[in-house]
């Protein structure tokens, strides 16, 4: 039996939306997957009744004094050990759930991933990826998008490996093409960090490195995995989100634009830690929560962390 822990208290919309999303996911999941709802038990049972769902179809773990978006991520775990996020990591570490998904405080989710579950042996820095649609179909992986604002060349080179394994084993991209996001395609382009990273990526043999790509190539098929530091990646991600919202506000209706909708994937795993941790957007609606839970199952089934351990032996 696979058990997926879901944080009910981290949503910007309150607990109603995560519960509704959990009910939607439960109706699509096979019977060998059970969702563990972590949050205010009385409220969860009330909301399950509102949705016409059988509480017996779920496990419920009661939480108290939950971590908010304004809490200091590092201090929150000590100050709020019975919060939904704290309990989610405790259950994951103890092996009582196979994965933990949350749309709550991203900083707290990173702190829990790194300091409670800890990085997989050999991983220099865990990273956060995002997905971008590709022209002509398919998706691309961009990482890091916020976990590591400053990176050294060996960290960026390893992100190429983590991203390649994610693309291959979770999103079923055969032999992913990995590129370095840079200000030009030529080998000697970029600052000292990018130039040194290029040399490391060119020399490694664990993934298919195709050289530099520019910002204009993010949505083209030139690369399946695009590597950058978290500062650059977060700026790119926010520009993409802002441009998408601007086009929608101007009434642009295009099939490619619809593929940017976060509802489609719901959440993405923290790469390189000893446990399956999925982070979703705080503004996620019920459809996005459902997608996050379904995506979490795929991450567990992929045995991504085992693939990472094997690659780092």
**Cα(142)–Cα(132) distance, integer angstroms:** 7
CA–CA distance from 191 to each of 130, 203, 237, 246, 305 (Å)?
A: 24, 19, 21, 31, 32
Maximal C-alpha separation, the chain = 61
Grade residue 70 by pLDDT with cuts at 50, 70 and 90.
confident
pLDDT over 80 at 255, yes or no? yes
Q: What class, spelled out in words, does domain 125-262 have in CATH?
A: alpha beta
Q: What class, spelled out in words, does domain 1-123+272-304+309-313 have in CATH?
A: alpha beta
Strands 139-143 and 129-133 turn out to be antiparallel
Nearest residue to 181 via CA among 211, 219, 202:
211
**Cα(95)–Cα(194) distance, integer angstroms:** 39
CA 295 to chain centre: 10
Instruction: Please state, rounded to an integer, the average pLDDT across all residues of the chain.
Output: 95
Angle between helical axes of 41-50 and 16-26 (0-180°, round to 10): 60
Give, in degrees to the nearest 5, the angle at Cα 173 between 206 and 5: 95
CA–CA distance from 195 to each of 141, 160, 210, 212 (Å)?
A: 21, 15, 14, 10
Q: Where are the domains of the chain?
A: 1-123+272-304+309-313, 125-262
1-123+272-304+309-313 and 125-262 agree in CATH topology: yes
Nearest residue to 103 via CA among 42, 45, 17, 40:
17
In eight-state DSSP terms, residue 125 is S
Grade residue 241 by pLDDT with cuts at 50, 70 and 90.
confident
pLDDT in tens, 205-238: 999 999 999 999 999 999 999 999 999 999 999 9
**Cα(23)–Cα(15) distance, integer angstroms:** 12
Highest mean pLDDT among 65-69, 214-218, 242-246: 214-218
pLDDT over 80 at 264, yes or no? no
Please provide the size of the chain in residues: 313
pLDDT at 83: 97
């Amino acid at each position: 039996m696979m058990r997926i822990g879901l944080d009910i208290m981290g949503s910007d919309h309150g607990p109603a939306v995560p519960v509704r999303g959990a009910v939607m996911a439960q109706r699509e999941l096979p019977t060998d997957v059970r969702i563990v709802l972590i949050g205010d038990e009385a409220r969860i049972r009330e909301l399950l009744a509102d949705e016409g769902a059988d509480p017996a179809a779920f496990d419920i773990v009661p939480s108290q004094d939950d971590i908010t978006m304004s809490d200091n991520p590092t201090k929150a775990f000590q100050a709020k050990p019975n919060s939904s996020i704290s309990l989610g990591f405790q259950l994951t570490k103890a092996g009582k759930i196979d994965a933990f998904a949350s749309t709550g405080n991203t900083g707290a989710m990173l702190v829990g991933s790194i300091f409670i579950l800890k990085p997989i042996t050999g991983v220099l820095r865990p990273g956060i990826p995002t997905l971008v649609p590709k022209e002509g179909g398919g998706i691309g992986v961009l990482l890091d998008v916020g976990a590591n604002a400053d990176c050294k060349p060996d960290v960026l080179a390893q992100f190429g490996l983590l991203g390649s394994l994610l693309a291959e084993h979770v999103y079923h991209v055969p032999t992913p093409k990995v590129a370095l996001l840079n200000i030009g395609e030529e080998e000697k382009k970029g600052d000292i960090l990018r130039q040194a990273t290029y040399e490391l990526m060119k020399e490694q043999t664990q993934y298919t490195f195709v050289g530099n790509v520019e910002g204009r190539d993010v949505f083209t098929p030139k690369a399946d995995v695009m590597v950058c530091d978290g500062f650059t990646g977060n700026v790119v991600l926010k520009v993409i989100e802002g441009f998408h919202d601007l086009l929608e506000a101007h009434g642009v209706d295009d099939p490619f634009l619809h593929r940017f909708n976060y509802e489609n994937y719901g959440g993405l795993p923290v790469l390189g830690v000893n446990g399956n941790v999925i982070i979703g957007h705080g503004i996620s609606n019920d459809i996005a929560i459902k997608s996050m839970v379904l995506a979490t199952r795929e991450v567990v089934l992929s045995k991504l962390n085992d693939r990472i351990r094997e690659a780092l032996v």
